[in-house]
Structure 1
Amino acid sequence: MKTRSYSSYAVMAGMVTAAFTGIAATPTHAASADSTPYTITLRQENQPKISRPTLDELKAEAKRTDTSLENALDQYVAKIASKKTNVATANPDHETNVQSHVLIDDLSLAELTDLKLIAKSEGISFEEAIDRYGPQTKIDDMSAVLAKVYPDTLAGVEITNNGHAVQIGFKGEIPSEAIDLAKKLPVEVQFTGNKGFSQAELRARLQDAHKTLAGRPDVAAVDGQYDFRTGVISFQVQPKLALKAAAQQQLAQDLQPPQPENKNISIKLEVEQNIADQLDADDTYIRGGGKQTIWDTGAFCTSGFNVTNGTYYRTTAAAHCARDDAGGGLAYINGDEVNNTFTGVAKESVSSSYDLARYSRGNFVVTRTFYYDWTFKRYVYDWGTYSNIGDRICRFGRKTGATCSHVKQVGAVGTGDDGRRRANLLRPHGDGRPSSRWRR
């Protein structure tokens, strides 16, 4: 009954898929003095094949009835939901119009719903989106295990070739157990060994240099990321003052961090201007995707997932969504300000690492659902533990609506609107700066 939605992931450490447990770190062959990078490829034709008989039947039905696979799927879900066949009947928060929890072959309805949106976002068919990105959960599960078992040697993981391939790098020898894990994936996998650096090293050097740069009095904002394929760490710096080209070049030389002792890692820096602005039905339930408003300014944010410690229930949103002096002027609303019920909320605590804060729930009921599109809700059934470059992810915001993109960078750093340093951020494709606001 465990399913996963592309847009319902909240990153949490320590959870590992049972099918991948019990792995020890063993290289493929004895270490040698030769540190030349080498590759091992698991060809697509030799990997497991995915069987989706129900979706195949729906494709055939769609062709017979001259309709789309999306419509055929909707009709199928409505039919089995009415019979409560293979549907989780639990609705612990007693809400109405919540998406059914249905498993169709190896994909949940939540995943298929997001794949519809991904297809629309990328201009491809629903069938192609399923073919490309259906295996993403399996890939992410494996990546989480590799990161847990090989924290000091894993260099990185990237989904490539439109979801049909995966690249995995290791600092030294490629562990044989990692190859065994990859043989369970339905996509081509290319390993590269002897890269000379690990993901942990890249992130440590990135964060150390970012701390130094962000503390400079002449720097307004600084973003950074690493490329595990090349070992290059890059920074983009915005100076506090507008500078002419020659002055920008001089500042770049002054700011350039020293190169790491590990010669396989390099750092480059460029000074830019105006990068700071690039970050980026009425009921009485409080849920993710709701609207959090400061009445006297009209400013608002999209609320995040609700949280609990088992005793108390609270909601979350970006820390900058409430001024310290907002007082009773901060409210949560599910609809618009004119004809909807609202409740007052207050900021209770702020994360030391992210633009994230915990807020009181007012007099609304805290639910386990969230909006994945306008007026559409679903339960959070599961969460992911790892994000790969190339992962397709979806989000809903009160300004942007429901959109999907893919992860361009992981482990990125940046300076938030409040001037605080951020680390371990995802950078979605199309966003100029890293973001910690994408649901994973």
Structure 2
Amino acid sequence: MKRSCLAVLALLASLCACGQTVAGSVPGAAGTETIVLPRADQPKPHRPTLERLKREAAASGRPLEEVVKRYAARLAATASPRPTDFDGYDPAATEPAVAIDGIPYAELVDLGTFARSEGISYEEAIDRFGSQSSDSRVIDELHAEFPDEISGVAYVDDHQGLRVGFKGPIPARAIELARTLPMEVTLIGGKGFSAAELRHAQDTVVSWLRSRPEVATVTAHADDETGRVEVTVQPKVMPDDAEEFRRGLELPQPDNPHITLQVTLSADSIAVPQQGPQ
């Protein structure tokens, strides 16, 4: 089942982080290489219909969201052979193929909801998140072409940029794909691990801990920036010596030395208890 557009938007917002703009190739951490594709050199979104609707909204004094909805309804009603009630017509629900400047109308509806929840304007929401479908296609293509090389993908700089990491050297094809995105893209090669290896390390340690009788609950997060799997464990009985308890867990170490484990103990429940193997 596909995730809802709102869920995707919420995820995108949570991935955003502040960053600095740097042009060209820049030095990276030891053993890494970094290529920055500045936003000024990237393709600009081409949205002539939305620009026209913005002007129409400004001239009429109506909210842009209302103008967009009426335009989408007319577009869908004209394209559909079915008779429609214009006043109550919802093309987002009945005509999923309706799009404006390549943005599905259903996403434009969700952008309005998202804008209200975030306290930003509809125009800003479109500017920041309107290319999510095309961005996602490129990101999916990167994952599909380099499943064993991608170490992580994250939006940065308030969704104005994208960071893509690779286990080894940056593939030329990845640079080619990144140049199609309407935002600054930072590509980092030589990370030493892949996202698949990081997930495997996380799954392995979580599975192991859930089988341990002294563990009540466990949760984990894989940091694709550092290659660290951060694990929080709630012991059934909090130990006096945390370090001795950690050693006693006999955690399986990742096969890849570039991936590390960090274990924190918590007296509070941090996940739903799950039974280990019987």
TM above 0.5, yes or no, is yes
In structure 2, distance between residues paired with 1:179 and 1:59: 34
Residue 125 of structure 1 aligns with which residue?
A: 121
Q: 1:347-426, aligned counterparts within 5 Å?
A: 416=272, 419=274
- When residues 72 and 205 of structure 1 are mapped into structure 2, their CA distance, relative to the original with a 3 A threshold, is same
- When residues 135 and 222 of structure 1 are mapped into structure 2, their CA distance, relative to the original with a 3 A threshold, is same
Residue 48 of structure 1 aligns with which residue?
A: 43
- The answer as to whether partners of 2:149 and 2:194 remain within 8 angstroms in 1 is yes
In structure 2, distance between residues paired with 1:169 and 1:88: 48
* Cα offsets for 1:143-173 (capped at 9, x unmatched): 2222222121111111112221110011111
SS at match of 1:177: helix
Residue 232 of structure 1 aligns with which residue?
A: 228
Residue 302 of structure 1 aligns with which residue?
A: none
Alignment RMSD (CA, Å)? 2.7
Segments of structure 2 that go 5 or more residues without pairing to the other structure are 9-29, 84-88
Q: 1:236-247, aligned counterparts within 5 Å?
A: 236-241=232-237, 243=238, 246=240
Deviation, structure 1 residue 127:
0.9
Q: 2:169 aligns with which of 165, 170, 173?
A: 173
- When residues 143 and 65 of structure 1 are mapped into structure 2, their CA distance, relative to the original with a 3 A threshold, is same
Residue 5 of structure 2 aligns with which residue?
A: 6
Residue 13 of structure 2 aligns with which residue?
A: none
Q: 2:58 aligns with which of 58, 63, 75?
A: 63
Deviation, structure 1 residue 214:
0.8
In structure 1, distance between residues paired with 2:212 and 2:246: 13
- The answer as to whether partners of 2:114 and 2:125 remain within 8 angstroms in 1 is yes
Q: 2:32 aligns with which of 31, 37, 48?
A: 37
Letter in 1 for 2:108: L
SS at match of 1:163: coil
SS at match of 1:67: coil
Deviation, structure 1 residue 79:
3.2
- The answer as to whether partners of 2:72 and 2:100 remain within 8 angstroms in 1 is no
Residue 190 of structure 2 aligns with which residue?
A: 194
Length-normalised TM-score, structure 1: 0.51
Deviation, structure 1 residue 263:
2.9
Deviation, structure 1 residue 250:
4.4
- 1:270 aligned to 2:257? no
Residue 201 of structure 2 aligns with which residue?
A: 205
In structure 1, distance between residues paired with 2:260 and 2:148: 19
Segments of structure 1 that go 5 or more residues without pairing to the other structure are 10-34, 91-95, 277-414, 422-440
Residue 74 of structure 1 aligns with which residue?
A: 69
SS at match of 1:162: coil
Q: 1:230-379, aligned counterparts within 5 Å?
A: 230-241=226-237, 243=238, 246=240, 250-255=244-249, 257=251, 259-276=253-270
- The answer as to whether partners of 1:136 and 1:163 remain within 8 angstroms in 2 is no
SS at match of 2:216: strand
In structure 1, distance between residues paired with 2:75 and 2:154: 37
- The answer as to whether partners of 1:237 and 1:269 remain within 8 angstroms in 2 is yes
Deviation, structure 1 residue 99:
4.1
Deviation, structure 1 residue 130:
0.9
Residue 78 of structure 2 aligns with which residue?
A: 85
Letter in 2 for 1:124: I
SS at match of 1:45: helix
- 1:146 aligned to 2:142? yes
- The answer as to whether partners of 1:164 and 1:188 remain within 8 angstroms in 2 is yes
In structure 2, distance between residues paired with 1:256 and 1:186: 47
Structure with the higher fraction of residues in helix conformation: 2
* Cα offsets for 1:378-430 (capped at 9, x unmatched): xxxxxxxxxxxxxxxxxxxxxxxxxxxxxxxxxxxxx656x258xxxxxxxxx
SS at match of 2:256: coil
* Cα offsets for 1:2-39 (capped at 9, x unmatched): xx961488xxxxxxxxxxxxxxxxxxxxxxxxx81010
Letter in 2 for 1:171: K
- The answer as to whether partners of 2:103 and 2:131 remain within 8 angstroms in 1 is no
- Count of residue correspondences: 246
- The answer as to whether partners of 1:5 and 1:111 remain within 8 angstroms in 2 is no
Deviation, structure 1 residue 210:
1.1
In structure 1, distance between residues paired with 2:127 and 2:78: 26
Deviation, structure 1 residue 237:
1.3
Letter in 1 for 2:5: Y
In structure 2, distance between residues paired with 1:420 and 1:159: 36
In structure 1, distance between residues paired with 2:72 and 2:133: 22
SS at match of 2:182: coil
- The answer as to whether partners of 1:155 and 1:197 remain within 8 angstroms in 2 is yes
Q: Percent identity?
A: 37
